[in-house]
């Protein structure tokens, strides 16, 4: 079990630099689709990498400068745009965003911390990890933070920690992975061109005129005619009012297979579907929710190939919508995982072109936000190739979120393709129960798990917090 210990403060020998594109780039305003410009995406996706061997900072800067020629919107700045005929300062102008592709540059900081890679890897996630990402001064609002902020932190062992903050309004998980791989390739092979040509335009995701909301959207708490269908009990507000404990659990392929064998009748399912149901059930049971409470599982679903025509290869904007499975607590917990898996699969099947277009039109009319009142939100990073980055000194020892206080993240495990690291924050008072149900299943007894490895006696699920 890893120790929960704060990391030392970072030392900054010099201030951050603005890394601008190394060549000329188009100067224009980039339209953001309704999938990009959702209120709940107005934050930065923050990744943390640990590398055994550091890459020279000048090489990283030069490669970043070169790749920003191709991904020039990330060197721009978010700005408000007047929509719907509103005037400057109106409600409309405050809501809709676009990118001013002005080439101002990405922020890159260099720091030092007195610890080794092994020491860092032996510690569990906690709030002190935030020290590893430079905080832009005077950025009191979301728009004040540049779309791309990076910090390279040198370790005493010669390794480095790389933290990136990429604005979610410009990229989804697939898009961030595409960009990071392009940057890594430019660092490892400076004369090479990006393997994937980025596609910037998002106008194929514009809403219809007039908007056509043809489906109920429980992920946003609305029924077919637009009435609010969210829970009157704001579980999310309660959770955010409690001291939260970050938990990280690593599930190996044998453990996930063991969970699949618990389904009766047997069902063909993905590792994501199985683990999502397992975590959802453990979350609901550990919180001791009212048995009749209607709860939801919201999960990101890639719709690049659901849209007709498909989104172009290289599209790095937000090409996902939220799938929604919902059920009363007692039905989710009374059954084996089969019931929850079917709910997720049915939710996935509903995400066709017409449904996605309906989401886009709903966001045009109502600027809705997801129904978080009694929901667990899972963001899956485990199949994006994020753990495969190589800037020229080898692949990372660790890859994961810098923080995870609102959403549950399914992160990849470096060096173990089939494993998934579940990172979630839960109230301090339920952390042990949540760990117990994740590891031991849903029996009430609290003794040590009898789930053991197939041949080597190792436990399938490793608690790392």
Whole-angstrom distance, CA of residue 442 vs CA of residue 23: 58
Mean pLDDT of 28-39: 97
Sheet with 97-101, side-by-side order of all strands: 28-31, 97-101, 77-80
Among left, alpha and beta (phi > 0; psi -120 to 50; other), residue 214 is alpha
SS3 assignment, position 381: coil
Residue 436 is among the residues annotated as catalytic for this protein: no
> Is there a contact between 429 and 242 (Cβ–Cβ < 8 Å)?
yes
Q: How far apart are CA 57 and CA 42, in angstroms?
A: 29
Rounded Cα gap, residues 274 and 388, in angstroms: 24
Q: Which pLDDT score, from 0 to 100, does residue 207 have?
A: 97
Are 218 and 224 contacting, i.e. CB atoms less than 8 angstroms apart? no
Q: Above 90 in pLDDT, residue 400?
A: yes
Q: Does residue 230 surpass a pLDDT of 70?
A: no
CA atoms within 13 A on the CB side of 347: 25
% of the chain beyond a pLDDT of 70: 88
Which position among 70, 168, 217, 436 bears the catalytic label? 168
Per-residue model confidence (pLDDT) at position 121: 84
Q: Tell me, what's the pLDDT at 259? A: 94
Confidence of residue 83 (pLDDT cuts 50, 70, 90): low
Distance CA 348, CA 216 (A): 15
Active site annotation includes 70: no
pLDDT of 91: 36
Residue 460 has pLDDT above 70, yes or no: no
- Which one of 151-155, 228-232, 243-247, 442-446 scores highest in mean pLDDT? 151-155
Would you state the pLDDT for residue 450?
38
- Identify the pLDDT of residue 380: 95
pLDDT of 329 higher than 90: yes
Catalytic residue chosen out of the listed positions 100, 154, 352, 390: 390
Sheet of 416-427, strand order: 320-328, 294-302, 375-380, 408-413, 416-427, 244-251, 461-463
Q: Rounded to whole angstroms, what are the CA distances from 451 to 248, 266, 394, 465?
A: 18, 20, 34, 19
């Amino acid at each position: 079990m890893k120790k929960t210990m704060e990391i030392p403060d970072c030392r900054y020998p010099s201030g951050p630099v603005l890394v601008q594109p190394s060549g000329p780039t188009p100067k224009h305003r980039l339209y953001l689709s309704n999938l990009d410009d959702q209120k709940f995406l107005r934050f930065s996706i923050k990744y943390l990498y640990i590398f055994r061997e550091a890459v020279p900072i000048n090489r990283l800067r030069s490669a970043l400068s070169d790749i920003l020629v191709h991904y020039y919107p990330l060197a721009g700045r978010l700005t408000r745009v007047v929509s719907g005929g509103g005037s400057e300062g109106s409600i409309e102008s405050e809501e809709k965003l676009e990118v001013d592709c002005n080439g101002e540059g990405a922020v890159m900081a260099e720091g030092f911390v007195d610890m080794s890679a092994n020491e860092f890897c032996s510690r569990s996630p906690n709030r002190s990890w935030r020290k590893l990402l430079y905080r832009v001064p005077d950025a009191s609002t979301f728009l004040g933070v540049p779309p791309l902020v990076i910090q390279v932190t040198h370790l005493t062992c010669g390794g480095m920690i790389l933290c990136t903050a990429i604005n979610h309004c410009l990229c989804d998980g697939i898009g961030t992975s595409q960009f990071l791989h392009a940057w890594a390739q430019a660092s490892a092979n400076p004369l090479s061109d990006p393997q994937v040509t980025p596609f910037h335009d998002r106008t194929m995701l514009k809403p219809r005129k007039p908007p056509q909301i043809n489906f109920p959207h429980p992920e946003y708490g609305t029924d077919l005619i637009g009435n609010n269908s969210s829970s009157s009990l704001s579980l999310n507000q309660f959770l955010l009012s409690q001291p939260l404990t970050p938990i990280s659990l690593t599930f190996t392929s044998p453990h996930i297979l063991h969970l699949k064998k618990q389904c009766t009748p047997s069902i063909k399912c993905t590792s994501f579907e199985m683990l999502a149901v397992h975590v959802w059930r453990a979350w609901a049971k550990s919180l001791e929710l009212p048995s009749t409470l209607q709860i939801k599982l919201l999960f990101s679903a890639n719709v690049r190939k659901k849209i007709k025509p498909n989104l172009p290869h290289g599209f790095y904007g937000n090409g996902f919508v939220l799938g929604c499975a919902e059920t009363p607590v007692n039905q989710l917990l009374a059954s084996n995982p089969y019931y929850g898996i079917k709910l997720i699969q049915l939710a996935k099947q509903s995400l066709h072109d017409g449904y996605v277009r309906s989401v886009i039109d709903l966001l045009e009319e109502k600027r809705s936000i997801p129904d978080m009142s009694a929901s667990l939100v899972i963001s899956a990073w485990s199949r994006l190739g994020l753990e495969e980055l190589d800037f020229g000194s080898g692949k990372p020892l660790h890859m994961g979120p810098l923080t995870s206080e609102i959403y549950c993240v399914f992160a990849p495990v470096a060096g173990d393709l089939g494993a998934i690291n579940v990172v979630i924050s839960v109230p301090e008072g339920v952390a042990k129960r949540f760990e117990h149900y994740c590891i031991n299943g849903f029996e009430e007894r609290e003794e040590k798990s009898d789930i053991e490895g197939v041949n080597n006696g190792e436990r399938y699920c490793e608690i790392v917090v």
